[in-house]
Structure 1
Amino acid sequence: MKRTHDFASGRIRVASQAGTGLLLIDNPERKNAVTAAMWRAIPDAVHWLCNEGEARVIVMMGAGSKDFSAGADISEFPTVRKDTATARLYESENSKAFAAIRNARVPVIAAIRGICYGGGFGLAAASDLRIAAEGAAFAVPAARLGLAYPADAMQDFIQSLGAQLARKALYTGAPMGADELFARGFLLEVTAPDALEPAALTLAETIAGNAPLSVQASKLAIRATGQQDEDLMREAEVIGAATFDSADYAEGRAAFAQKRRPQFTGR
């Protein structure tokens, strides 16, 4: 059964079916720019998908057929980002949104078409896997706007782009194409425009069909290793060890012996 929910007056929409969750950035008249209300809603949307939606994997996309996201909605800046005090409050919501994607207990796949700029690029960088359509364009225009991004968001750019390309993106603000970012390893795949959503959903369905506890343990271990976080490493070791007592481990072994497809429950 498909389950759906809306946040931020419908600007952030979620749906979940058969273990695959969808997070839609829905502001196409402004190239899916993210308003302050939308930034605040993203952690709630991820929480809903992982819990009420029972998603085993999340696909994040921009609404419509043109753009992933132009980043933060600049039209709000004279109010919500007008000085240091307001910017700190605003950027704390940015950071919570990036962290919600980065730290979601299930993998997040960003399916990117068209413009992927600024905070939209940040959301993609925080994702586990990224697929883009031909012609997608990426940029971090902070230096051209005279502002700085939250320092904790830099970890996503560095880990996904590599240190040198992250520096180039941040220092120059120059756009980059999908082919370049595929060659640099930022993108898993570049597809024809009409093949983007099917490719993302096929990848999501493959992940959703695997043992959820195993996938979650792998994601946590990857995070712990990437961040060199000893507390996370210990948590990953505990969760990884617990998979050997799970019903899914018994099911996986039985299915392998019986040469059938396993039916995992996440228990």
Structure 2
Amino acid sequence: MIVEEIVKRGSGPLISEIHDKIAWIVFNNPDRMNAMSKDMWDSSANLLDKYASDSNVRAIVLTGAGERSFVAGADISKFETERASTEAMASYNESVANFHNSLNAITKPTIARVNGYCIGGGLAIAIGCDIRVCSEKSTFGVPAAKLGIGYKAKGIMELERLVGPAFTAEIFYTGRQFSSEEAKVMRLVNRVVPEDKLDEAVADLLGRVAQNAPLSIRAVKEALIESGKPDSERDFSAHHSTVEQCQTSSDYTEGRTAFMEKRRPLFTGT
């Protein structure tokens, strides 16, 4: 299992490696259900920015270490040092916002591999990814109302885009945890598989993505990024430029040639 291998080779609360043009970011705080500290938010944002500009990376997977949790929200044990004052809270919130800005802006496919608890800030990470694949035992929820936390409109709107207003209301109003099957009904996740088939399902998805033309995928991702913004802030110029680039790319020639020769194309992203 690739995640276990990455964890064995790495150390610290955040581990990452690149395998076969796929970047893996592993939240490695299993004793606390991979709960996020300020340093983890900051380091994750830096990694996303790094992989965004790495031409050798075709897609990015975000996942949690261990077999119990994807990410179970914020690390409460750090609250006294990271969120005890108005200034500390502002700094923490800035770190979280920077992470989500980096995740939302990246023009490569992002996939959340979820195995276990996906709660609070963990759910926000997952819904920020393009695709979510989870094991049957996974559970999802936002317990903000149980903690007296005011959830910001941006996060509520991002969830509403996925599951609609009625399910968004139920998730926030009840604060309860939802099963993987309930999440699938809501369209919160793309796919639910048995735990022992999770890596196989993610590997199949990644294989299909990685063998396709990077510029074609980028054009779609750029359109999705802009469609998620308010109408007044949308700018499709980068998307239009990439579409034009596709038409004159060597990959376009390779795609046509491979089709005529009845073979799999070998795309380079150029």
Task: Answer whether TM exceeds 0.5 for this pair.
Answer: yes
**Aligned residues: CA RMSD:** 2.1
Q: How far apart, in 2, do the equivalents of 1:93 and 1:162 lie?
A: 28
Residue in structure 1 matched with residue 268 of structure 2 by the alignment: 265
SS at match of 1:110: strand
SS of residue in 1 equivalent to 2:71: coil
Report the equivalent of 1:193: 195
> Where does residue 124 of structure 2 map in the other structure?
122
2:155 matched to 1:153?
Answer: yes
**Contact kept in structure 2, 1:221 and 1:232, CA below 8 Å:** no
**In structure 1, C-alpha distance between the alignment counterparts of 2:83 and 2:55, rounded to whole Å:** 33
Correspondences of 1:27-176 after superposition (within 5 Å): 27-52=29-54, 54-176=56-178
For 2:199 and 2:51, locate their aligned partners in 1 and report how far apart those are by CA, in whole Å.
19
TM-score under structure 1 length normalisation: 0.91
Contact 1:14-1:24 at 8 Å conserved across structures = yes
By how many angstroms is 1:145 displaced?
1.3
Moved more, 10-19 or 136-145: 10-19
For residues 221 and 211 of structure 1, the distance between their equivalents in structure 2, rounded to whole angstroms, comes to 16
> 226, 240, 249: which is aligned to 1:237?
240
The residue identity in structure 1 corresponding to 2:246 is: T
Q: What's the CA shift for 1:96?
A: 1.4
Cα distance, 1:84 vs structure 2: 3.8
User: Displacement, 1:52?
Assistant: 4.3
Task: Give the residue type in structure 1 aligned to 2:210.
Answer: A
CA contact (8 A) 2:227 2:234 kept: no
The answer (yes or no) to whether the contact 1:81–1:87 under 8 Å persists in 2 is yes
**How far 1:235 moved relative to its partner?**
2.1
Deviation at 1:71, TM superposition (A): 1.2
Counterpart position of 2:225: 223
Shift of the 84–9 alpha-carbon distance from structure 1 to 2, 3 Å rule, reads farther
Please point out which of 247, 251, 258 is paired with 1:248.
Answer: 251
Give me the whole-angstrom Cα distance separating, in 2, the residues matched to 1:117 and 1:191: 19
Q: Which residue type is aligned with residue 78 of structure 2?
A: E
Q: Report the Cα distance in structure 1 between the residues aligned to 2:227 and 2:14, rounded to whole angstroms.
A: 31
Which blocks of at least 5 consecutive residues in structure 2 are unaligned?
1-5
Deviation at 1:160, TM superposition (A): 2.2
15-24 or 47-56: bigger deviation: 47-56
Q: Tell me the TM-score normalized by structure 2.
A: 0.90
Contact kept? 1:15, 1:49, Cα under 8 Å: no
Task: Kindly tell me the number of residue pairs found equivalent between the two proteins.
Answer: 263
Contact 1:35 1:73 in 2 (8 A): yes
Distance 1:35 1:178 in 2: 26
Indicate conservation of the 8 Å contact 1:14/1:49, yes or no.
no
Tell me how far apart the structure 2 counterparts of residues 178 and 137 of structure 1 sit (CA, whole Å).
Answer: 6
Cα deviation for residue 228 of structure 1 reads 4.3
Contact 1:15/1:53, CA 8 A, preserved across alignment: no
